Amino acid sequence: MINAQNFNKEIFNQPVGDFIEHYFSELSKLNKAKQLERLQEDKLSLKVNGRDYKETQKPFKLILSEIDENTPVTINENEKEFQIIWLINNEKESVEFTFPKRYDLILGKDKSELTRSFQSDLMNFSYRFMPDTLDDLSGVIDTLTNVRAELGEIYMIPQMKSGRYIREKGDKYEYVLNERMGEESLLNLFSHSDQMNRQNTLEITVKAYNMNYQFICTLDRLCAYMKAQNCKAYVGLETENENEYTGTAFYVNRELMYEHLVYFLFPKTALKREQDIVQIKIYPYIPINNIADLYEDLPDYIKFNN
């Protein structure tokens, strides 16, 4: 049976490796009729030597016994699914496992369960401060202040950016963090607080369906947790006045096809005083293909007085 001792999960991202191990272990407990029923129910494909599993006479436990940490494996993926191919018996035979990028399937919990456990998952997450080396960047965007930008993809609208902004200070580099450059500072904070060692206090409201609860956390913990979940940050500034910024951050996991939407109200004083409360609302585990549905609730989620 596939287990932690003979199945090399290191080549997969953790949720995917854990899913394959768990799913194959569960299948091994069933007879073939139940195995085929389970595969059909979950809309998964299992092939042996190019033929559907239902057409092969090879026992499932024998198939698993031939896959170990040294078995050559190919991982293919697109926007909808993963395809894993193992080449066994000196690459003379193959086992092909294809499954959709559905986070509820891969994580083993539905949206309601994941939302309910969001606080405990975040607060129980273990991490330590890992400072960024801040390598020199090309692309000077402000010759007067030596501010440089490493900007990645744009998500949904041009104002939603990934990346970081740094500036030269003497012979060193530092993250941009000042009131004069609010957009750049907020991109840095909501993407890299864990590497900046910025422990801004967050008052978090988690919202989904009829669920609504609050707790306190720090921004560095949130950033570190999102990175550990393979979520990429995209941040956009929406409004600014003399006292505060409002904006949106998406933490996107394209491998499992979900995202967390964060709407923030960030006092300008919190750029200097980390203890000043930053209010954020999180709508967790939104399926990427359902993003249009979210905006039907736009007037509700942008308000902080409800």
Of residues 159 and 196, more confidently modeled: 196
Q: Is the pLDDT of residue 194 over 80?
A: yes
pLDDT band at 2 (very low <50, low <70, confident <90, very high): very low
CA distance 150 to 136: 10
52 pLDDT above the threshold of 90 = yes
The DSSP line for 86-148 is EEETTTTEEEEEEEE--HHHHHSS-HHHHHHTHHHHHHT-------------S-EEETTTTEE
pLDDT of residue 144: 60
Lateral strand order in the sheet of 81-88? 51-52, 45-48, 93-100, 81-88, 73-77
Is the pLDDT assigned to residue 300 strictly greater than 60?
no
Counting Cβ atoms within 10 Å, is residue 193 exposed (0-12), middle (13-18) or buried (19+)? buried
* pLDDT 10s digits, 134-193: 776 666 566 666 788 888 877 777 788 999 999 888 778 899 999 999 999 999 999 999
Distance CA 227, CA 262 (A): 15
Q: Does domain 111-133+178-301 have CATH number 3.10.450?
A: yes
The reported pLDDT for the residue numbered 44 is 95
Check whether 59 has a pLDDT greater than 70. Answer: yes
- Say yes or no to pLDDT of 1 above 60: no
Map out the domains of the chain as residue ranges: 14-100, 111-133+178-301
Please give the pLDDT value at position 267.
97
**Range with the lowest mean pLDDT among 50-54, 72-76, 166-170?**
166-170
Angle, alpha carbons 205-218-284 (nearest 5°): 40
CB half-sphere exposure, 52, CA atoms < 13 A: 9
Q: Is the pTM of this model over 0.85?
A: no
More confident residue, 147 or 122: 122
Please give the share of the chain, as a percent, with pLDDT higher than 70: 88
Residue 297 has pLDDT above 50, yes or no: no
38 pLDDT exceeds 50?
Answer: yes
Judged by average pLDDT, the poorest of 190-199, 219-228, 286-295 is 286-295
pLDDT for 207-255, tens place per residue? 987 889 999 999 999 999 999 999 999 999 999 999 999 999 999 998 8
pLDDT-based confidence at 34, cuts 50/70/90?
very high
Evaluate if residue 131 carries a pLDDT over 60: yes
The pLDDT, as a whole number, for residue 143 is 60
pLDDT of residue 24: 92
Q: How far apart are CA 144 and CA 198, in angstroms?
A: 26
pLDDT of 302 above 60: no
